Amino acid sequence: MRTGTELLNKPIVSAESGEKMGRVEDLLLDERQNQVVAVIIQKVGWRKKPEMMPFSRIKAVGPDALIAGSIEDVTEEETAAMNRASVAHAVKDKRMVTTSGRDLGSVTDFYVDERTGAIEAYEISRGSLADIFTSRLAVPALDAVTVGPDVVLVSPQSASQMRRREEVRRQRQREQSAEL
């Protein structure tokens, strides 16, 4: 699993020709499906306009590059998914609030399954000081997320799951401290 930020600016290399196709400029997200549906490729060369490649065409996500299949013959289904999607940077730095009205913090990143493009969790910050003492938290992507112009809405169940994970993490820290 990688963060969305880790994928940005990585080169994209054609699996067929070994040619560098460009670099990842941004990601397109389908928040309702919690899925990265495409990468926006900044093409190599001067005055080349960005292109979209369905994430399903990415064959491998390595530490230094993405290996991609053909960008030719994009299907209608892939095009429709890309047209519904929003750019990843539209999610970052927005407040995450549950549908019951609880403010969880600001979205700083998200975790992506590099094989499927599924968004597994959203990383949130509760402020610089809180991050120092408790670190950033991961809100599981259990169900659809609504990205509005001002906030990202998630279910209360996502917040409950986050709290349970945080309690387990703190318990482990206490046990480790007691062992010392």
Predicted confidence pLDDT, tens digits, the chain (180 residues): 899 999 999 999 989 888 888 899 889 888 778 889 888 888 877 667 778 888 988 999 999 999 988 767 666 677 776 776 677 777 888 899 999 999 989 999 999 999 999 998 888 888 766 556 666 788 888 776 788 888 888 888 877 777 777 777 677 777 777 776
Q: What was the pLDDT predicted at 46?
A: 67
Kindly state the tokens that stand for 47. 């005055």
Q: What was the pLDDT predicted at 149?
A: 82
β-bridge partners, 28 = 38, 87
Whether the Cβ atoms of residue 7 and residue 24 lie closer than 8 Å to each other = yes
pTM: 0.76
Q: What was the pLDDT predicted at 62?
A: 93
Type of residue numbered 32:
R
> Radius of gyration of the chain from Cα atoms?
18
- Classified by CATH at the fold level, domain 7-87 comes out as SH3 type barrels. (2.30.30)
Tell me the domain boundaries of the chain.
Answer: 7-87, 90-179
- Helix (H), strand (E) at residue 69: none
Fold match, 7-87 / 90-179 = yes
β pairing state of 35-43 and 86-87:
unpaired
What's the rounded Cα separation, in Å, for the pair 156 and 129? 25
Q: What was the pLDDT predicted at 12?
A: 92
Whether the Cβ atoms of residue 100 and residue 45 lie closer than 8 Å to each other = no
Kindly state the tokens that stand for 161. 């799951």
Return the CATH number of 90-179, one of 3.40.50.720, 2.30.30.240, 3.30.450.20, 2.60.40.10: 2.30.30.240
Whether the Cβ atoms of residue 37 and residue 54 lie closer than 8 Å to each other = yes
